[in-house]
Amino acid sequence: MIALRGIRHRFGAQLVLDDLDLDLDEGRVTALTGPNGSGKTTLSRFLLGLSVPDTGEVRGMDGRRRAAVFQENRLCEQLSAVGNVRLVLPRSTPSSAVAADLRRAGLDDPELAKPVRDLSGGQRRRVAIVRAVLAEADLLVLDEPFTGLDALGKVQVMAWVRDRCAGQTTLLITHDLAEARWFGARVVTLARL
Amino acid sequence: MTSTSAAESTATLARGAVRPLAVVVFWVVVWQVSALVVGHEVLLASPGSVVVRLSELSLTADFWGTVWTSFVRIAGGFAAASVLGTLGATLAASSRVVDALVTPALAAVRSAPVVSFIILVLIWVSSDQLALVISFLMVLPIIYTNVLEGIRHRDRALLEVADVFQVPRLRRLPAVDLPAVLPFFTAACRIGVGLAWKSGIAAEVIGLAEGSIGERLYEAKILLSSADLFAWTAVIIAVSFAVEKLLVAALRHVERRLA
């Protein structure tokens, strides 16, 4: 069980999280909602090992692999879509398998070989999502993953993510409760302090 | 492309080629006029006599041997500084102690007069090795500072991605590290090549390194041969310029491949 216990954190004088406990159900999606500034992304950074809370602890993550879709795409601009995804996969992963999944997420063949800096915002977002979903991970963090996708593309990508992530422990950060319901997630709402 | 825009492109290219040539011609004319005004080859050799002297020198095996000797020593110093400067910067980027110890020391080396180092190093090494050591010492702080700056300018967001996904260091290097650091390294090389030649030749002149360009410059001074002085200076400029262009072109090629 991945769990956060007694998390308290401030940014300067601003208290963001105060004595927060959170359990992530193994093999299920937990959706984290709440207004801007309520500490959702901060919490995900603790789980990803990128920040340490002022007090409290993260349990159950020792030696476990993480993957994430960040709020920003965070892609290597000079690499192709396939190159960005392969970077986080074992070397033995064939490009053709990665390309097939990128196609399923809505990228066309000509877009697969281009440097991602030449792709549209929506296509770049798809690459970031595919990278996280294909990575071998024990915890997947999706921080507002479908932002920037058009309505049709969003449905297509959400369906692909739901299929691929079935049975994976996932933290979905979202403002959209419909997204949380689509993933059959347990919803946890943070309040702004 | 329309014929008008093609003609405009050709005209732009022609202007681009003609302008540097016109600048060179202008300064050669200024030089020639100055030589005529001075009226004494010992004080200021004319462009014509320098070209003649250069032609004479280039026909001898000794000339090429001399250029090669200086080139090997100075390029050796530059290469050693590139390798150690990069390694030092990599260490300093990951260790505050190394950064705190090395950065001020190299800042001092960069600020100190090159002559002080030449005299000091001459006590320790033979004049044959002096140019290598001096060009190494002069280039090292430049490579170190620029590479360290490049490492510090890496995209933090991408570094976090690499950490989260546990991307091995060898795979991060071409994807995340090199694209950020290489432009800084290239800039350092541009400055470093010229500096290596200037300081290396100064070391050869002071140390009277046998069979070096510096020794030829010293002889030119003793013999009051302005034409020789100018001819060897032209050789230094040409070789330094060629090395810089070749090195930068090679690095740009690597940058393009990574991009």
Q: What is the CATH number of the domain that holds B93?
A: 1.10.3720.10
A66 to chain B, any CB pair closer than 8 A? The answer is: yes
Across the interface, do B160 and A50 touch by the CB < 8 Å criterion?
Answer: yes
Q: Which residue of B has its CA nearest to A49?
A: B164
> If pLDDT is split at 50, 70 and 90, which confidence band does B5 have?
low
Is the domain of B66 the same as that of B23? no
pLDDT (0 to 100) of residue B257: 82
Q: How far apart are alpha carbons A73 and B33 in whole angstroms? A: 63
pLDDT in tens, B155-166: 999 999 999 999
Across the interface, do A76 and B179 touch by the CB < 8 Å criterion?
Answer: yes
How close, in Å, is residue B245 to chain A by CA atoms?
25
Whether A181 is in a domain gets the answer no
Q: What are phi and psi of A67, to 5 degrees?
A: -145, 155
Whether A143 is in a domain gets the answer no
Pair type for strands A66-69 and A139-143: parallel
pLDDT (0 to 100) of residue B3: 57
Whether A161 is in a domain gets the answer no
Q: Bridge-partner residues for B114, per DSSP?
A: none
Whether A25 is in a domain gets the answer no
Among A110-124, B169-183, B192-206, B245-259, whose mean pLDDT is lowest? Answer: B245-259
pLDDT in tens, B13-22: 667 778 889 9
pLDDT (0 to 100) of residue B13: 66
User: Cβ of A118: how many Cβ atoms within 10 Å?
Assistant: 11
pLDDT in tens, A142-163: 999 999 899 999 999 999 999 9
Domain carrying residue B179 = 53-258
pLDDT (0 to 100) of residue A193: 80
Is the domain of B10 the same as that of B117? no
Whether A126 is in a domain gets the answer yes
pLDDT (0 to 100) of residue B19: 86
pLDDT in tens, B171-222: 999 999 999 999 999 999 999 999 999 999 999 999 999 999 999 999 999 9
Domain carrying residue A126 = 75-136
pLDDT (0 to 100) of residue A192: 85
B28-37 average pLDDT score: 94
pLDDT in tens, B42-79: 899 999 999 999 999 999 999 999 999 999 999 999 99
Across the interface, do B167 and A88 touch by the CB < 8 Å criterion?
Answer: yes
User: Cβ of B258: how many Cβ atoms within 10 Å?
Assistant: 15
pLDDT in tens, B93-122: 999 999 999 999 999 998 899 999 999 999
User: Cβ of B155: how many Cβ atoms within 10 Å?
Assistant: 15
pLDDT (0 to 100) of residue A113: 87
Pair type for strands A2-11 and A55-59: antiparallel
Across the interface, do B157 and A72 touch by the CB < 8 Å criterion?
Answer: yes
B251 to chain A, any CB pair closer than 8 A? The answer is: no
pLDDT in tens, B81-97: 999 999 999 999 999 99
pLDDT (0 to 100) of residue B4: 61
Whether A100 is in a domain gets the answer yes
Where helices occur in chain A by DSSP H, the ranges are 40-48, 81-86, 95-104, 109-113, 121-134, 151-164, 177-182
Which of B163, B167, B258 is opposite residue A78, by nearest beta carbon?
Answer: B258
Is the domain of B122 the same as that of B3? no
pLDDT (0 to 100) of residue B177: 94
Domains contained in chain B, number: 2
- Cβ contacts below 8 Å, chain A against chain B, sum to 43
> If pLDDT is split at 50, 70 and 90, which confidence band does A34 have?
very high
Q: How far apart are alpha carbons B205 and B184 in whole angstroms? A: 32
Burial (0-12, 13-18, 19+ Cβ within 10 Å), A183: buried
8 Å CB contact between A54 and A10:
yes
